[in-house]
Structure 1
């Protein structure tokens, strides 16, 4: 039990807030002011996030492993499609990175093969999903995270996840039409949520 608690604290200690940024602390230390909200606590907000399995993960046969992680956590899949995204579609998706030196190679890489675009639903799924993915640089990702277990380099970090609610809303609308989002009730919901 101590190991599990320590592991959860370690997972929460370092995470990345931007797809190609550097790891930043998201949890407050015990010495910080009690007036600040501790980001390690799960909210009661049911929300949706966009997760995209990148071409390297598709080629390596990791689609099932990534989906399994989200399902085992208790999140509900409400949309999924496999597609080869066009460069123009990806340029819009990554528009916030347009001035970065790696932008062209990122778009080239993401358009080099099929991706699996997904929408997951559940409590605090945007933040928790990012923690499940691990740091953008896989070398900074903890074992047990998707990137920590399956990738080595930032340029081949196997999966994208929305970094905020507003990003999730924008990305979901960009990748999916409203009628592609499947509203359904999971039979296991009462076993996941109080």
Structure 2
């Protein structure tokens, strides 16, 4: 398995509920290395740009409202098969379908307010990492 990087976000609900340390700890205990991290508060327009792939979907407005409702933590995670490992740790987008012990199964309360976001493929990871981090911010 190849070493790769992925973007992970702790969404406003995870930050507001004090779950940042717990989420990061789960990633680290699973062997993912934290390569960059920052806290920021997206504007509605920034959230719309980040999630533009979903702009035609009915949940676009509520998702971008939510993602701009409070601070988030953006991270670059690195490791063997980091994209898949991160997605397995997060669990299904629908927290009610997520496997026991995953972040979403353990902490999410809503399909949008589901604590975390993670890239789904290498090309998406590169695009999403570039959205949040410039070259000087990467290790």
Do Structure 1 and Structure 2 share a fold, with TM-score over 0.5?
Answer: yes
Paired residue for 2:29, among 62, 72, 79? 72
Alignment match, 1:134: 91
State yes or no: 1:177 paired with 2:134: yes
Q: Which runs of 5+ in 2 are unaligned?
A: none
Query: Is 2:10 aligned against 1:53?
Result: yes
Say whether 1:124 aligns with 2:103: no
C-alpha deviations, 1:71-94, integer Å up to 9, x for none? 101111011000001222211110
Residues 25-62 of structure 1: CA deviation (Å, up to 9, x unaligned): xxxxxxxxxxxxxxxxxxx2100000000000111000
**Aligned equivalents of 1:152, 1:112: Cα separation in 2:** 16
**TM-score, normalising length: structure 2:** 0.97
**Partner secondary structure for residue 79 of structure 1:** strand
After superposing on structure 2, the runs of 4+ consecutive aligned residues of structure 1 that deviate more than 6 Å are none
**Bigger radius of gyration, 1 or 2?**
1
Residue 69 of structure 1: how far off its partner (Å): 0.4
What residue in structure 2 maps to residue 97 of structure 1?
A: 54
Quick one: distance in 1 between partners of 2:33 and 2:52? 28
Q: How many residues align?
A: 139
Q: 2 CA distance for matches of 1:156 and 1:137?
A: 10
C-alpha distance in 2 between matches for 1:123 and 1:155? 28
> Tell me, what secondary structure is at the counterpart of 2:112?
helix
Q: What secondary structure does 1:139 align onto?
A: coil
